[in-house]
Amino acid sequence: MVELIHKKIQQRALPLHNIFFYAALAVLALVIAAFALLVHFEGRSSTLLQDLENQILQIGTKEEKQTEKEIFATKKKIDSFSKLIDIHKKPSLVFPLLEETVHPQIWLTGFDFNIESNILEISGEADNFRILAEQVNILKEKSEILGISLSDIAISDTGNASFSLFLTLDPKIFK
């Protein structure tokens, strides 16, 4: 028999996993669109940056650029010279040290200074050995003198005590 009344077709609700599938598809589409937008803006900003750099390079005349190169070259030379000055030792600073440490009754007859090893050799004569001992004690008290070596002690033709002193000096006094 034929039914004349149509039965209502029941609509089934979408299962939950279908909803998640379509939501994930929508999120994927958004991510792809966002990536494409970022690539577009990155290219555009790169082009803009290149244009700005070209504009900066065009500013100034050739004479100004040449002057700028000369200034940088001179600055480099000055920096190099400053480094050399900083490491340069001033051996003349040994003289004030000698002026304040040499005993008044001692005559210096020889002087040799090796700036590389900071060793000062002085030769001289004293009236007697007691004055020579006083001189050694004066030198021992100075913090600038790291080591003392007394050698070639003899009595000269005039009856004085002749000697040679090797002094190891602190390198800090030459700066």
Specify the DSSP element, H or E, that contains 77: helix 62-87
CA distances from 71 to 64, 66, 74, 120, 162 (A): 10, 9, 5, 43, 59
Question: Same domain for 74 and 99?
Answer: no
108-132 tens-digit pLDDT: 999 898 888 889 999 999 999 999 9
Q: How confident is the model at residue 172 (pLDDT cuts 50, 70, 90)?
A: confident
Closest listed residue to residue 109, CA positions, set 121, 132, 125:
125
49-93 tens-digit pLDDT: 999 888 877 777 778 778 888 999 999 998 888 888 777 777 778
Question: Same domain for 80 and 99?
Answer: no
Using CA atoms, how far apart are residues 114 and 111, in angstroms rounded to an integer?
10
DSSP-derived secondary structure letter, 31:
H
132: in domain: yes
Using CA atoms, how far apart are residues 103 and 83, in angstroms rounded to an integer?
38
Is the pTM higher than 0.75? The answer reads no
1: in domain: no
Q: Which domain holds residue 34?
A: 28-87
Structure tokens of 56?
């900066």
Q: State how many domains the chain has.
A: 2
